[in-house]
């Protein structure tokens, strides 16, 4: 198994300004996931799947999907079939990161469905560049307006398959300040679907 990409990932994770936890992978589950995706360990995505059940970034605010562990789904188990997106990560508020198949002649990039704008944004970064930016500290800027005092303790206490539902939601004027809204732990799958349903209603 090629160690080049994995060594790069571990080095980037260790240099991160916030906590990064690389969750151990089950070898059989990892091999099966790699085969289904048709990728190799030479890539960062393949290395994450092969070597981790998933990655918890910044106290678990972001969960990068690997081959699955303890309620955290594997890459490929969540696919937005409407848009043809392969979900590779999610945040605790129900935002999602997706690897989008390339257009003709263009490389695939990571897109972000934000829980406050309810729309997909192309980061214009490939998987490796996106994850490297995440490890380097990009989450602090991305989520600057979506955090509240003491969020670290609330997020760290969540199970891997839970997120934080806020009401009013962050996509509303009333829900913009998350320090003043109602917050509770809910299944992350339900939370993601909740935001997508709101988006569909607005459309």
Q: Which residues lie closer than 8 Å to 160 by C-beta, 6 or more apart?
A: 54, 63, 69, 70, 71, 72
Residue 147 CA, chain-centre distance (Å), reads 16
* pLDDT single digits (tens) 17-47: 999 999 999 999 999 999 999 989 999 999 9
pLDDT in tens, 119-164: 999 999 999 999 999 999 999 999 999 999 999 999 999 999 999 9
Domain assignments of the chain as residue spans, ordered by start = 4-202
At 101, which helix (H) or strand (E)? none
Distance (Å, rounded) from C-alpha 16 to C-alpha 84? 31
pLDDT-derived band at 104 (thresholds 50, 70, 90) equals: low
């Amino acid at each position: 198994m090629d160690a080049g990409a994995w060594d790069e990932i571990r080095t980037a994770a260790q240099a991160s300004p916030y906590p990064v936890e690389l969750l151990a992978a089950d070898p059989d589950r990892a091999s099966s996931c790699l085969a289904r995706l048709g990728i190799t360990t030479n890539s960062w995505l393949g290395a994450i799947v092969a070597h981790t059940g998933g990655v918890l970034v910044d106290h678990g605010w972001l969960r990068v999907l690997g081959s699955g562990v303890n309620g955290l789904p594997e890459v490929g188990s969540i696919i937005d079939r409407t848009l043809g997106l392969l979900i590779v990560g999610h945040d605790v508020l129900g935002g999602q990161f997706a690897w989008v198949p390339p257009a003709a002649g263009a490389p695939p990039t990571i897109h972000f469905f934000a829980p406050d704008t309810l729309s997909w944004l192309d980061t214009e970064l490939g998987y490796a560049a996106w994850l490297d930016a995440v490890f380097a500290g990009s989450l602090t800027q991305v989520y600057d307006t979506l955090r509240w005092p003491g969020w670290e303790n609330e997020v760290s206490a969540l199970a891997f398959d839970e997120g934080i539902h806020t009401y009013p939601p962050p996509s509303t004027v009333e829900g913009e300040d998350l320090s003043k809204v109602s917050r509770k732990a809910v299944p992350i799958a339900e939370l993601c679907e909740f935001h997508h349903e709101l988006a569909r209603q607005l459309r």
